[in-house]
């Protein structure tokens, strides 16, 4: 797979500012963003704890950032692995700086500089760049064990650090970005399989230690016990989808209400602004974690399928840009972004219908959050930069 390219006998180049499939990518992104704004606005109508103007502000800032990133030549970042690593770790650790970090919902994931935002969200951008820059150095063939372990350590360390906040959801996103980049970057399959097996074993050992050493009574939890490594509420989020009736007072209750909201929408939904579960307070964090439930209840099966089709078209357009890229760094960069989006889409929608663990991972371009919106707009800019600055018209990388 290293260095294999099939190029059209026609001319090659960047194809102009909107060449290489970029126009179709922008059109689908525009429709998706508009759809997300409408659904987020309707969710904020019934939950006064959320101010939609902040989402709108996030979009405006994101558009500015997107254009700047789009016009910037991404290739200049290809050899900046060390600076990207330092920036990624610094962003993740910034909430721990005294007087700067803000704790919300038990996690120290925010900082306040005039306005409050999540640096861990922006670290997704540097994580994508870091993974692509690092793995592309090996030319599409990472089969030396020492080199693989070095790359693995560098890519997994941000995941470990973000989980210390604790922010399990964002940590899983980092992990998926790293995994997709390694797979597409030519890492030896046996190394990848061994990494997954050892990772599962390590998690099992840590949970065993937590159970045997750190478990203690705590009447404030739903089970009467608390842990140190993985808190009870985190355990419930990860396991409740296997047995929703096991925790009917907290996470299981949220899942049940989410599924009621999705099912009650029927074929065409109840109409924008008409929602029972969120309006009556049955569905917590409706504009953020459970925004898909709001969409399904208001716009029904038709609205949900329209979203899924839009996401599919969006991902296909991005993949086409990756395949047309004539350098490994650009291809890996786009693949990292696509992998991040796919994981977030599948996890968020899956957790609301009981198919995936509840992790609090937001839905791209729909979930409320200005930091999240800006991050996703920057990701669009990165893909646009690859399409504009280094694409082979009609070419294909395998």
Q: Which of 256-265, 311-320, 364-373 has the lowest mean pLDDT?
A: 256-265
Give 167's contacts (C-beta < 8 A, 6+ positions apart).
Answer: 107, 109, 120
Residue 95 pLDDT class (50, 70, 90 cuts):
confident
Give 82's contacts (C-beta < 8 A, 6+ positions apart).
Answer: none
pLDDT of residue 250: 61
Q: Which of 31-40, 41-50, 347-356, 384-393 has the lowest mean pLDDT?
A: 384-393
Per the prediction, the chain carries an average pLDDT of: 83
- pLDDT of 364 above 90: yes
Residue 342 pLDDT class (50, 70, 90 cuts):
very high
- pLDDT of 76 above 80: yes
Left if phi > 0, otherwise alpha if psi is -120 to 50, otherwise beta: which for 106? Answer: left
pLDDT of residue 101: 74
> Higher confidence at residue 332 or residue 352?
332
The SS3 of residue 226 is: strand
pLDDT digits (tens, 9 = 90+) for 4-41: 333 333 334 444 556 558 899 999 999 999 999 999 99
The pTM is what? 0.86
- State the average pLDDT over residues 147-160: 93
Tokens of 165: 């906040």
| The Cα angle at residue 326 between residues 14 and 154, in degrees rounded to 5 | 120
Closest CA to 365 of 321, 307, 316, 300: 307
pLDDT digits (tens, 9 = 90+) for 261-320: 888 888 888 888 778 777 776 777 788 888 999 999 999 999 999 999 999 999 999 999
Residue 326 pLDDT class (50, 70, 90 cuts):
confident
pLDDT of residue 223: 66
DSSP state of 240: T
| The Cα angle at residue 126 between residues 62 and 340, in degrees rounded to 5 | 75
Separation between Cα atoms, residue 183 and residue 228, nearest integer Å = 33
pLDDT of residue 233: 66
CB 200 within 8 A of CB 154: no
Residue 69 pLDDT class (50, 70, 90 cuts):
very high
pLDDT of residue 349: 93
Helix axis angle, 81-93 relative to 145-163, nearest 10°? 20
Closest CA to 155 of 116, 184, 129: 129
- pLDDT of 187 above 50: yes
- State the average pLDDT over residues 63-76: 94
- pLDDT of 391 above 60: no
Separation between Cα atoms, residue 229 and residue 68, nearest integer Å = 41
Q: pLDDT above 90 covers what percent of the chain? A: 47
pLDDT of residue 163: 82
- pLDDT of 397 above 50: no
Cis peptide before 166 (omega within 30 of 0): yes
pLDDT of residue 221: 67
pLDDT of residue 11: 37
Separation between Cα atoms, residue 359 and residue 373, nearest integer Å = 19
pLDDT digits (tens, 9 = 90+) for 207-247: 788 777 767 777 766 666 777 767 766 666 666 666 666 55
pLDDT of residue 5: 38
pLDDT of residue 393: 37
Beta-sheet strands, E only, within 3-130: 5-6, 101-104, 107-113, 115-117
- State the average pLDDT over residues 185-210: 89
pLDDT of residue 245: 61
């Amino acid at each position: 797979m290293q260095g294999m390219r099939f190029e059209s006998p026609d001319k090659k180049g960047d194809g102009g500012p909107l060449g290489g499939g970029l126009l179709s990518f922008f059109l689908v992104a525009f429709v998706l963003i508009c759809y997300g704004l409408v659904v987020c606005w309707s969710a904020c109508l019934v939950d006064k704890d959320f101010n939609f103007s902040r989402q709108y502000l996030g979009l405006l800032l994101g558009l500015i950032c997107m254009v700047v990133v789009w016009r910037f030549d991404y290739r200049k970042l290809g050899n900046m692995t060390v600076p990207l690593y330092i920036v990624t770790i610094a962003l993740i650790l910034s909430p721990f700086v005294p007087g700067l970090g803000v704790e919300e919902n038990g996690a120290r994931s925010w900082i306040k500089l005039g306005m409050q935002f999540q640096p861990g969200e922006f670290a997704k951008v540097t994580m994508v760049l870091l993974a692509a820059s690092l793995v592309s150095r090996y030319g599409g063939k990472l089969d030396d064990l020492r080199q693989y372990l070095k790359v693995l350590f560098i890519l997994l360390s941000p995941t470990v650090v973000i989980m210390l906040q604790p922010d399990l959801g964002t940590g899983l996103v980092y992990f998926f970005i790293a995994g997709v980049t390694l797979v597409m970057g030519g890492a030896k399959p046996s190394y990848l399989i061994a990494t997954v097996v050892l990772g599962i074993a390590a998690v099992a050992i840590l949970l065993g230690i937590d159970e045997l050493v750190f478990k203690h009574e705590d009447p404030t939890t739903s089970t009467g016990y608390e842990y140190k490594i993985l808190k009870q509420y985190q355990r419930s989020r990860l396991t409740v989808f296997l047995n929703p009736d096991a925790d009917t007072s907290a996470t299981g209750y949220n899942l049940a209400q989410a599924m009621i909201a999705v099912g009650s929408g029927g074929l065409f939904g109840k109409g924008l602004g008409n929602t029972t579960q969120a309006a009556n307070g049955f569905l917590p964090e409706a504009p953020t974690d459970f925004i898909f439930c709001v969409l399904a209840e208001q716009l029904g099966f038709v609205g949900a399928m329209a979203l899924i089709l839009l996401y599919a078209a969006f991902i296909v357009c991005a993949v086409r840009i990756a395949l047309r890229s004539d350098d490994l760094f650009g291809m890996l960069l786009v693949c990292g972004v696509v992998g991040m989006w796919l994981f977030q889409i599948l996890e968020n929608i899956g957790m609301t219908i009981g198919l995936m663990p509840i992790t609090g991972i937001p839905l791209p371009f729909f979930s409320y959050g200005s930091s999240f919106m800006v991050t996703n707009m920057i990701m669009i800019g990165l893909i646009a930069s690859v399409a504009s600055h280094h694409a082979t018209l009609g070419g294909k990388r395998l």
